[in-house]
Amino acid sequence: QLPLCRVFKVSCLSCGYTMPRRDYQISLEETNSEWAMKNLYHHGRKSADIRADGDAHLENDDFDDFEVPGCKKCGGLMMPRVVFFGGSIPKETKETAMSMILEASSVIVLGSSCQVASVYRLCKAAAEKSPAPSDIVLVNIGPTRIDPLISLKIEA
């Protein structure tokens, strides 16, 4: 099974301790309840512009009173188990993904321009493997880096 990055878990960058994101969110809210009331609510109603991806546009840019709870085991920095833009994919994940690509007879790419090198590398490996390249189906709007490699493109 592919060791996927998961948004519903957080891990300590120091010791590797992992916990459910929900539990960490509760700790974050409890630690910063006064800050949240001061910055996210106006007359008891949520006033922040909460975006679909969970981000919030805040009028306040003063985070001096905001506290980020540390790891329960070692006090280290906790982060969601996702790869942020510019971050590195864990080696084990890359190796597992490449192994799966090399075994696949077809690949479906959904909603990606494949500009990121790691995704492009996987698609290129699928298209160039022998004895038989994988069929690559792409569902995306507009041109992508892998257009020359694909068998079928659905513009949706």
Determine contact, residues 128/134, Cβ cutoff 8 Å. Answer: no
Locate all alpha helices (DSSP H) within the chain, ordered by sequence.
Answer: 21-31, 33-40, 91-103, 117-128
- What's the pLDDT score for residue 132? 79
**From CA 69, how far away is CA 33, in angstroms rounded?**
13
**From CA 121, how far away is CA 114, in angstroms rounded?**
9
Q: Average pLDDT for residues 13-27, to the nearest whole number?
A: 93
Q: Is the pLDDT of residue 3 over 60?
A: no
Check residues 25 and 52 and name the one with the higher pLDDT: 25
Q: Is the pLDDT of residue 156 over 90?
A: no
Check residues 46 and 10 and name the one with the higher pLDDT: 10
**From CA 5, how far away is CA 1, in angstroms rounded?**
12
Q: Is the peptide bond before 3 cis (omega within 30 degrees of 0)?
A: no
Q: Average pLDDT for residues 104-110, to the nearest whole number?
A: 92
Q: Does the CA dihedral 87-140-99-151 come out positive or negative? A: negative
Q: Give pTM, 2 decimals.
A: 0.61
Q: Average pLDDT for residues 18-25, to the nearest whole number?
A: 93
Q: Give the strand order in the sheet containing 6-12.
A: 18-20, 6-12, 78-81
